């Protein structure tokens, strides 16, 4: 399904857009199967390269953990939306999974990813959320405050309680196979999963070339994986970028809300 001008307009105005039917059922099933393998392999250490979160299953550094994940980060259709937020110069910041566990009352505070505030050059973080399960009002969808990406302020500095419901918040629901593209300066948060089934999504997170990666890809990837990558993916991962080496190698992982 081709992109539309209305989708780009919504992303600019509201800070998010649901792009429908990006994944085929077969591709989505293959992603879920590979994620289950990684969860089983890593056990209690799952997500340790990033941060672990109570009430959720986490995985990180997924570019290193299966060729199928590399198809996600280089999807040119979705990258059109990312570039509409960040401009032409982008790189992958991280590729993680967040699985909201069943019957879990844990919710995130409203936050912007990496505690990022737009600078004199504009926006510099953008997230793409690949839905491996339906997002319903009951199973832990993302809540967002539409238009808050334009505020150039962080919710923890503006709200008395970022965990509390916000009067302008919207719950973003969508179908498995869809992708939510989100200007990651948007105030947003995961919510409680009140159902008996897990809710899983893959987060391909991008940043502007002049900003540090959330997870320094060159330092995380195995040499065999690096050698297997084509020039386009090497560029997207900033593997041959001396400036990225300088700004990303010693950066402490930041999520925007996890401590």
What pLDDT does 106 receive? 86
Contact 132, 31 (CB under 8 A): yes
Q: Tell me: the pLDDT tens digits for 28-84? A: 999 999 999 999 999 989 888 887 888 899 999 999 999 999 999 999 999 999 999
pLDDT below 70 — which residues of the chain? 253-259
Per domain, the residue ranges of the chain are: 5-248
**Does pTM surpass 0.75?**
yes
What pLDDT does 251 receive? 76
What pLDDT does 50 receive? 83
d(CA 22, CA 78): 8
What pLDDT does 259 receive? 43
3 state SS of 44: helix
What pLDDT does 53 receive? 82
Query: H helices within the chain, ranges in order?
Result: 5-14, 25-42, 67-73, 76-86, 155-158, 217-220, 223-228, 231-237, 242-248
Whose tokens are 């992982």? That residue is 253
Give the pair of three-digit tokens for residue 47. Answer: 């997500």
Q: Give me the CATH topology for the region 5-248.
A: Jelly Rolls (2.60.120)
What pLDDT does 31 receive? 98
């Amino acid at each position: 399904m081709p992109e539309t001008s209305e989708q780009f307009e919504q992303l600019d105005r509201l800070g998010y857009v649901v792009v429908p039917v990006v994944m085929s059922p077969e591709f989505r099933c293959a992603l879920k199967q590979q994620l289950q393998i990684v969860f089983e392999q890593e056990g209690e250490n799952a997500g340790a390269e990033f941060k672990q979160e109570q009430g959720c299953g986490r995985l990180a550094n997924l570019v290193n953990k299966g060729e199928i994940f590399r198809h996600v980060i280089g999807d040119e259709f979705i990258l059109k939306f990312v570039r509409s937020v960040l401009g032409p110069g982008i790189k992958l910041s991280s590729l993680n999974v967040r699985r909201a566990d069943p019957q879990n009352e844990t919710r995130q505070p409203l936050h912007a990813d990496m505690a990022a505030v737009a600078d004199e050059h504009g926006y510099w973080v953008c997230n793409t959320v690949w839905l491996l399960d339906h997002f319903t009002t009951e199973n832990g969808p993302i809540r967002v405050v539409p238009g808050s990406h334009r505020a150039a302020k962080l919710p923890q500095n503006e709200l008395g309680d970022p965990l509390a419901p916000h009067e302008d918040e919207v719950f973003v629901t969508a179908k498995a196979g869809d992708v939510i593209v989100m200007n990651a300066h948007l105030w947003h948060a995961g919510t409680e999963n009140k159902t008996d089934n897990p809710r899983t999504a893959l987060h391909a997170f991008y940043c502007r070339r002049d900003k540090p990666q959330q997870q320094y890809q060159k330092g995380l990837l195995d040499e065999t994986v690096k050698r297997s990558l084509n020039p386009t993916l090497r560029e997207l991962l900033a593997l041959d970028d001396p400036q990225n080496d300088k700004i990303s190698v010693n950066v402490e992982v930041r999520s925007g809300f996890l401590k």
